[in-house]
Each structure stands twice: as structure tokens, then as C-alpha cells.
């Protein structure tokens, strides 16, 4: 299939007639059962008609995604939620007031109109009202309900620009809307409102602290804080290997200088073995690294910058054919919880803790979790 590509230059401002026309055409494609990738404020989505079971089947096929992993339904007006949910608890209205439109997804009991194909067979439905103006227009033009996972091939990092959508989806979908780089860079926070107290199933830009402030107390899925809990994550998608670059990624936790020294030592061993090495580092430490490739994820003090760059630097490691990737570790407070959640998944939870200075036996790697 030939994939049409359109560009929206003024993604956050007034649209030109041509751009408006392009979005209308995209809406028509979705209404007819086609698939269109589009920008949102979090990551690019791969959209189809959420109320059409065939569209959902096509989405799973295009992504190579297991069909038990449900899709998020995107709306462009709060009032549209009533048609797709069976009940709207007061907590949902409260957090919609506080965070919608924006990077938050709510799990609610589903209405009969929502096909099981869209919810991966579940009786609940994930709903999100994005703030990105292009996303909102497209949703409105396509009938009001777009099912959209992130627009990457299953298992790969979510796309933060149209370039990476093209890499994964060219020839597999009807259209790609290029709206430039996304603002947040990590997928929406998911909160389950079918349990009491509400529970975060995927951390994101809307943090636990922000939700606590509006709802009193919210829980967090134990599998997010303890990957060894032995329990299955409540968001089916969180159980799959995810965000993974092609190279093997190791997170190194320790003081800045120690971390750089350890990574340089590993990179020397990689070089001797003929493996290309790369590091994901912060501005403050960057010049200490001696790996073949050095990518800056942002300044340690700026979590939003780190979030925005994470998936991009993972993709860049693939672009440059890096085989051994090392990353600094980050605090798990606030937005850091979402950053570390994605980074740990990308690394398959491979973390090296550097508790102190190296001793005679070399680096302490006892706590390495392969
Ligand atoms: O920011 C985002 O949320 C992006 C943009 C495109 O909106 N979308 C996105 O979708 O990240 P996706 O499909 O990549 O991730 C959706 C996650 C999956 O982990 C899925 O298992 C979970 O949401 N999910 C969807 N419906 C669910 C439900 N009814 N119950 C529990 N988890 C659900
Ligand atoms: Mg995804």
C-alpha cells in the first residue's frame, strides 16, 4: 500500500487551507476504515475508527501487536465520553476537570457500542482526550472516536517524530500526518478508575503526586515499582518487552564520575571485542565519556527535557548501529517515575549498581539484574 504523507507546519497555530483539507481527507480515510498516523502531545498515534472492529484488527496487524493488548480511544470533546463508557464515576469528572485535554488516559467500564476488538476482549475501555490541536481536529473529522496505540512497530520505542513513524509504518498504513516533534515524548499516564482507590497502571507526565492532589489518594500498580513482584501488570501492554533498541541496553547507577569511569571501561572491552558502544548521558557529564557514540538526553536538572529526548536517543542508537548501549540512571520522583519506567523496560531491567569506589576485585556487580 502506498502511504500518503502530509505536513502540518503550523501544528500549534492557525492551519492553512491546504492543511485543513489534508486533515479532512485523513478523517475521511479513517471513517472508511483506513489507518492514519498523527501527532499528539505525548507521542505519535496510529489511528483507526474505534467503533469499527475491522479498523482495530488492522491496527494490530500494522503494528505486529498481540490482539489481547487493548487500544486507547481518543475523543475531542469531553461530552463524547458518555457514548463509550457505561458509568462515569465522580473521580473521572474531577480528573478530567484538572487534566483534560492532556496526557492522561482513564480506564472505565465500557459501553456496548465499543467493540471487543478495540478493548482486547476486556469489559473496560481506555479513554483519552488529547490536547494537541492536530489530534483534536483529526478526531472530530473522523467521527469522534479514534483508537490509537503509539505508531511504532510492537516492541520498538514510541515515535516522537514523523521520521520514526515512517521508518516503522511506511507502506503499512494509509497516511502519515507530519506535525513535527512532539512536546512530551512519553506516553500518557494511565489511571484505572474501576478500582478503589484509583490505580496508576502506567506512569506519565501527569504524576502520582498531581493525581493525589485531586483525588486524595491513588495507588500505583505494584509491577511498576517492583518488577520482581511476580504479579502480572494490570495494563496488558505493560507486560510485553517494550521500547527496546536493537542494541543491548544497560543502566548504570552510581555517582557521576564513577558511572563514567565504569562505562568507559566497558566501552574499552566492547571495542576490543569489535562491538560499537554508545552512551545516553546528561549534559553535565557528557565530555567524560569515551564510548564510540555519545548522545545527550538533556540536563540532569530538567526532567521534561529528559522525558522528551528518551525515545529519540534510543532510536538514534539504532540509527548508528550501536551494539552496547549504556545509560545513566535517573531519580524516580515525579516525572522521573515515568522516565525510569520506560528506561528500565527498554533495558529489560538490566541495571548495574555501583555502590562505592572500585575495589581490588574490580567493580561490584553483585546487584546486576540481567
Ligand atoms: O500517550 C498515549 O497514550 C499514546 C498516544 C498515541 O495517545 N498511546 C499509547 O497507546 O501509548 P498504546 O497502545 O501504545 O498503549 C496503551 C496502553 C497499553 O499498555 C494497554 O495495555 C493499556 O494502555 N490499556 C488499554 N486499554 C486498557 C484497559 N481497558 N485496561 C487496562 N489497560 C489498558
Ligand atoms: Mg505503545
Which three cell numbers, joined as nine digits, stand for 117? 476488538
pLDDT along the chain (370 residues), means of 10: 93 84 98 98 98 98 91 98 97 98 98 97 97 97 98 94 97 97 96 97 97 96 82 79 86 96 98 98 97 98 97 96 98 95 94 70 39
Q: What is the Å distance from ligand 1's center to 149 Cα? A: 6
Which three cell numbers, joined as nine digits, stand for 277? 558502544
315 CA to centre of own chain = 13
Report the residue among 66, 111, 126 best suited for mutation to probe ligand 1: largest number of ligand atoms under 8 A from its CB: 126
Q: Ligand 1, atom 32: nearest CA belongs to which residue?
A: 235
Q: Is 151 exposed, middle or buried (0-12, 13-18, 19+ CB in 10 A)?
A: buried
Q: Is the shortest distance between the CB of 328 and ligand 1 below 6 Å?
A: no
Residues 303 and 334 sit within 8 Å (Cβ to Cβ): yes
DSSP state, 85? B
Q: What is the pLDDT of residue 239?
A: 74
Q: In whole angstroms, what is the distance from residue 219 CA to residue 56 CA?
A: 30
Q: Give me the count of residues in the chain.
A: 370
Q: What is the pLDDT of residue 238?
A: 77
Which ligand minimizes its atom distance to the CA of 160?
Answer: 1
Residues 325 and 250 sit within 8 Å (Cβ to Cβ): yes
Pseudo-torsion of CA 236, 240, 244, 246, nearest 10°?
-150
Residues 6+ away with beta carbon under 8 Å from 316: 295
Residues 251 and 324 sit within 8 Å (Cβ to Cβ): no
Which ligand minimizes its atom distance to the CA of 149?
Answer: 1
Residues 204 and 221 sit within 8 Å (Cβ to Cβ): no
272 CA to centre of own chain = 35
In terms of DSSP bridges, do strands 199-202 and 146-147 run parallel, antiparallel, or are they unpaired? unpaired
In terms of DSSP bridges, do strands 36-38 and 175-178 run parallel, antiparallel, or are they unpaired? parallel
Q: Is the shortest distance between the CB of 118 and ligand 1 below 6 Å?
A: no
Amino acid at each position: 500500500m502506498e502511504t500518503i504523507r502530509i505536513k502540518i507546519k503550523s501544528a500549534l497555530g492557525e492551519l492553512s487551507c491546504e492543511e485543513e483539507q489534508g486533515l479532512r481527507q485523513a478523517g475521511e480515510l479513517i471513517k472508511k476504515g483506513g489507518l492514519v498516523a498523527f501527532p499528539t502531545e505525548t507521542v505519535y498515534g496510529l489511528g483507526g475508527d474505534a467503533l469499527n472492529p475491522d479498523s482495530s484488527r488492522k491496527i494490530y496487524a500494522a503494528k505486529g501487536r498481540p490482539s489481547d493488548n487493548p487500544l486507547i480511544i481518543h475523543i475531542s470533546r469531553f461530552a463524547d465520553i458518555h457514548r463509550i463508557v457505561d458509568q462515569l464515576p465522580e473521580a473521572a469528572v474531577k480528573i478530567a476537570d484538572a487534566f483534560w485535554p492532556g496526557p492522561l488516559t482513564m480506564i472505565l467500564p465500557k459501553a456496548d457500542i465499543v467493540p471487543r476488538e478495540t478493548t482486547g476482549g476486556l469489559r473496560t475501555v481506555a479513554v483519552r482526550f488529547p490536547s494537541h490541536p492536530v489530534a483534536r481536529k483529526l478526531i472530530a473529522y473522523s467521527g469522534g472516536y479514534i483508537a490509537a496505540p503509539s505508531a511504532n512497530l510492537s516492541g520498538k520505542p514510541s515515535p516522537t517524530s514523523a521520521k520514526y513513524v515512517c521508518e516503522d509504518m511506511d507502506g503499512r498504513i494509509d497516511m502519515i500526518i507530519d506535525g513535527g516533534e512532539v512536546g512530551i515524548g512519553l506516553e500518557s499516564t494511565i489511571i484505572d478508575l474501576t478500582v478503589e482507590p484509583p490505580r496508576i497502571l502506567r506512569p506519565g507526565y501527569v504524576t502520582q503526586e498531581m493525581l493525589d492532589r485531586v483525588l486524595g489518594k491513588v495507588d500505583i500498580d505494584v509491577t511498576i515499582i517492583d518488577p520482581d513482584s511476580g504479579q502480572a501488570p494490570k495494563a496488558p501492554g505493560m507486560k510485553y518487552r517494550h521500547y527496546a533498541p536493537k542494541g543491548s541496553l544497560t543502566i548504570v547507577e552510581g555517582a557521576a564520575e564513577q558511572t563514567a569511569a565504569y562505562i568507559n571501561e566497558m566501552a574499552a572491552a566492547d571495542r576490543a571485542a569489535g562491538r560499537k558502544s554508545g552512551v545516553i548521558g546528561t549534559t553535565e557529564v557528557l565530555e567524560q565519556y569515551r564510548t564510540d557514540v555519545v548522545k545527550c538526553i538533556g540536563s540532569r536538572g530538567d526532567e521534561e527535557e529528559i522525558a522528551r529526548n528518551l525515545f529519540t536517543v534510543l532510536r538514534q542508537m539504532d540509527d548508528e548501529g550501536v551494539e552496547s548501549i549504556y545509560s545513566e540512571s535517573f531519580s524516580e520522583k515525579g516525572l522521573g517515575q515515568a522516565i525510569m519506567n520506560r528506561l528500565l523496560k527498554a533495558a529489560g531491567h538490566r541495571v548495574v549498581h555501583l555502590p562505592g569506589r572500585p575495589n581490588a576485585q574490580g567493580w561490584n556487580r553483585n546487584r546486576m539484574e540481567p
